[in-house]
Amino acid sequence: MDAALPTFLQVLDRVTGPFLSIGSTLSLTSLACALGIAVALIALRLRRRRRRIRLRVIMRALFPRRITFHASTGIDVSYLIFNTFIFGSIFGWALFSFRAISNGTISVLTSAFGAPASLRYSMFLKRPALSVAARNYFYSCRAGLEHSTDGTYPHE
């Protein structure tokens, strides 16, 4: 039971995190400000037409039943929550496991090919060369993955 509480709190934090952080586009403060501006504009429009200002009418104008209770709206909310969990878990996994994967890869390569020879070049030349090589490698991997998934991979 003691282990369930931290897990529950972590899940709760992932769900409420996008809504409570101030810098988020979905923060409750920004959504409340947008709702306040919309209500004020509709109330101003009703006042100009000399009509009574009713909160029920304003809410019906802002949240029509055909949009609020549409299946697509439910799917959009589900998609938001699902992506919040998936992105959070992938990002957390990458943050906590990058060192283990890096050390494991280094040890496998060292055992297979031996210790790397020291280059005589300075770090001023090594880093740009390695970054260009890594960028080109990952670019070609990404391009190959894109072509293989959309069916435009050039056949031999």
**Residue ranges covered by each domain of the chain:** 121-156
pLDDT digits (tens, 9 = 90+) for 77-131: 888 778 877 777 787 777 777 788 888 888 888 888 888 777 676 667 777 888 8
pLDDT exceeding 90 applies to what percent of the chain?
A: 4
For residues 119, 124, 125, 126, the Cα torsion angle rounded to the nearest 10 degrees is 50
Q: How far apart are CA 86 and CA 82, in angstroms?
A: 6
For residues 85, 87, 93, 98, the Cα torsion angle rounded to the nearest 10 degrees is -170
Q: How far apart are CA 17 and CA 23, in angstroms?
A: 11
